[in-house]
Amino acid sequence: MAAPLKQLLPEYKAIERRVEAAVLARFGLPAKLPPCVKQADLILLATEQRDLMPAHDDPWEWETVPGIQPLVARIEPLDPAQACAGFLARFAELTTAAQGTHSTEGEA
């Protein structure tokens, strides 16, 4: 959810914290992530703003990442069909690789 909307919905922040805690616990991650994770998130937000969000004159919305430089690399938007095909291709790669690293019982 966009930061300006989060500020208008205080109950959303509480829900977001509970969901984050559950996800972190499920994957064995520390309850408090290191500051570099937040920094990476802000860098990607600045990159998304530059590459995916149309420019406009509303400074309040654009001041969510002051002083944060976007990545040099640009995000190239995909249409839904391209995104779906790319996702499915990568999913197939990962699941094939994972199946190759796991042997089943009884295999030599």
Ranges of H-type helices in the chain: 3-8, 10-26, 35-52, 59-62, 80-101
Q: What is the mean pLDDT of residues 87-107?
A: 81
Closest C-alpha among 98, 42, 102, 51 to residue 78:
51
Evaluate whether 46 touches 69 at the Cβ level (below 8 Å). yes
Q: pLDDT confidence of 101, banded at 50, 70, 90?
A: confident
- Supply the pTM of this predicted model: 0.65
Which range (2-6, 7-11, 18-22, 34-38) has the least confidence? 2-6
Residue 13 clears pLDDT 60, i.e. is over it: yes
Which range (5-9, 23-27, 29-33, 104-108) has the least confidence? 104-108
Residue 30: predicted pLDDT: 93
Residue 7: predicted pLDDT: 77
Cα dihedral 14/19/21/23 (nearest 10): -170
CA 92 to chain centre: 21
pLDDT tens column, 15-48: 989 999 999 999 999 999 999 999 999 999 889 9
**Whole-angstrom distance, CA of residue 108 vs CA of residue 96:** 19
Evaluate whether 74 touches 51 at the Cβ level (below 8 Å). yes
